[in-house]
Chains A and B, each alone.
Chain A
Amino acid sequence: MITVESLTRAYGGFTAVDDVSFIARPGRVTGFLGPNGAGKSTTMRVMVGLTEPTSGRATILGRRFAELPNPAREVGVLLDASAQHAGRTGREILRIAALTMGLPSTRVDEMLALVGLTEEEAGRRVRHYSLGMRQRLGIATALLGDPEVLILDEPANGLDPAGIRWMRDLLRGFADDGGTVLLSSHLLHEIEVIADDLVVIGHGRIVAEGTKDALLASGETLVRADDLAALARALDAVGLEATAAGDALLVAAEPADVGRTAYAAGIAVTELRAADGARLEEMFLELTASTQRDGLGNDLADHSDEGQAA
């Protein structure tokens, strides 16, 4: 479990993180979203003690990170896969981490196998690694100590589609085993698929927080009928607002109410269901609209391009 309480980090007059509070719970994947420069990475650095907060605090498993006796055995961290000595081999980087944690070197081989780095690749110097390989190595380092909590900043960056799928399954399994996962990403689709809970941040402040289902629920009902006009009149008669959406109606009401109204009016309904929730992308843009750097949409397109192409 990760608890962030009224966390603020100011740089001179600029407040990068402004009174941020949220909880990432065990057994769940918490997605941490926000435009560039919204304060995601700063918040994550404060969590692991690399940046001092101006006020407020972050605790992991009930303690400040610096108070954990052997932090990597409890918290797996991946903040920047490229922050490694270019002249070290992948295997040596894992060996150093294992040595620090007090783990046998067999654990290094297990992790290399888990993240799919071959014997030959592990012996290569990191300067010759692709971003995807660095990312895999970073995930191996994070998982090395068999932690209970994972803090990952943009872990999907640079992974190919198979790699993204692999990581999604890995994180899902980790959370299903009772682990806590906090991950930030610009790949909104990835977050939408994997996250249970969402924390959306803009200009250093939390703009939305909750379960993905609750945040994305639309509260509308989609209904189709052969005689759509009659159905619209019937709904209007009982005071339910209906708008045409192609060959269907969107009604601001529960499916049960819509169904009963149609039944009472003697209209055969051909499809009746809760309307599709807002896509995460739309919600993200709407929530962070005032904090977007570029014109609405451009920024998002940039981000997803970045993620896909990298």
Chain B
Amino acid sequence: MSTLTLDPTVATQARPPRAEPAPIPFRRVLLVELRKMFDTRSGFWLMASIVVASVIATALTVLLGDRETLSFDSFAAAVGSPMSIVLPIIGVLAVTSEWSQRTALTTFTLVPSRPRVIGAKAVNVLAIGALSMLVALAIGALGNLVTAAITGNEAVWDITAGTFSQIVLANELGMMLGFALGLLLRSSPAAVVGYFVVNLVLPGLSSALASSQQWWAENAGWFDLNATRFLLFDSTLTTQEWTQLAITSGLWIVLPLAIGLRLVLRSEVK
């Protein structure tokens, strides 16, 4: 290495020392990450689709359903199915858009602590999930009232706070599964496909296996997240089922989340 030493006299006066800037508070990272989920056309319409899908599902239920038998539970089921597709995609894209759009470069330069950014995204995703479910349910409730007005019957409110919390939990788990796959794969198409494989293909395989394998039929709940997660939508879980839910959530959500987080922390951002 040919090093030519600099003449110290040529170095001009440095700036006077400045006050150290205050650290970035977590709530600011939270706010910025939330804003980033809404400030693009695709992001905005993904969020808007929560309301749009709930309105369409509710309207279809009122128009096409057997109005005499419709209750709040029918509407909750109707708005619930689009939610179970849209919300996990929000979970996936909250992470993967940073990589597919290469914004991670700017994001992690502005906030070098990657766990803080990922943490803020996770909090936002969970908050959006809970809020979306409230919005969806409110739209469903409106549908229930409209149906009652049409039929002249008393509106039937057959969903307890407990059932609703279970539905919210099921959806939050779905979002976190999407979020974990996003961290693990860091590619929007791969993670979205991955989510639907886990959620639509695996349950089919699992039940096919259960029909031929007695052992699997009895014990699938200990390995298959969906076996117990789907129960959250319409039944009261036994203690064993709650335990199965906790174990399978650990296997399918916490484990990929931990591995994905580790990969994101160590990966090179280009």
Interface residues of A (CB under 8 A from B): 1, 25-28, 45, 48-52, 65-66, 68-74, 77, 79-80, 82-88, 92-93, 96-97, 99-102, 141, 148, 175-179, 196-197, 205-211, 214-215
Contact = CB atoms under 8 A, between A and B. Distances in A.
A85 B97 contact: yes
A64 B110 CA distance: 14
A215 B6 CA distance: 11
Contact of B13 (A72, A178, A208): A178
Nearest to A145: B21
From DSSP, what is the main secondary structure of chain B's interface residues?
loop
Contact of A50 (B14, B21, B268): B268
A84 B106 contact: yes
Choose among B22, B43, B112 the residue with the greatest number of A CB atoms under 10 Å from its CB.
Answer: B112
B14 to A, nearest CB: 4
Contacts of B23: 69-70
B11 A70 contact: no
Contact of B31 (A52, A71, A99, A205): A99
Choose among B4, B11, B106, B269 the residue with the greatest number of A CB atoms under 10 Å from its CB.
Answer: B106
B32 A96 contact: yes
A48 B109 contact: yes
B102 A178 contact: no
Interface residues of B, number: 46
Contact of B21 (A48, A70, A99): A70
Contacts of A175: 12
Contacts of B7: 211
B20 A100 contact: no
B209 to A, nearest CB: 40
Contact of B268 (A26, A52, A66, A99): A52
Contacts of B13: 27, 178
Given A25-B6, A50-B108, A209-B1, A83 B102 contact: yes
Given A51-B268, A141-B106, A207-B2, 8 more contacts: A26-B14, A49-B112, A52-B266, A69-B24, A70-B21, A87-B101, A102-B21, A197-B6
Interface stretch (B34-42, B51-59, B215-223, B225-233): B34-42
Contacts of A206: 1
A28 B24 contact: no
B21 A74 contact: yes
Contact of B269 (A51, A69, A207): A51
B231 to A, nearest CB: 39
Choose among A102, A141, A176, A177 the residue with the greatest number of B CB atoms under 10 Å from its CB.
Answer: A102
Contacts of B86: none
B141 to A, nearest CB: 34
A49 B108 contact: yes
Choose among A1, A28, A96 the residue with the greatest number of B CB atoms under 10 Å from its CB.
Answer: A96
B197 interface: no
A50 B111 contact: no
11 contacts: A74-B21, A80-B102, A84-B103, A87-B40, A99-B28, A99-B32, A100-B29, A100-B110, A178-B13, A208-B2, A214-B4
Given A85-B103, A96-B36, A214-B4, A69 B21 contact: yes
A84 B11 contact: no
Contact of B106 (A52, A97, A205): A97
Given A84-B103, A86-B101, A209 B2 contact: yes
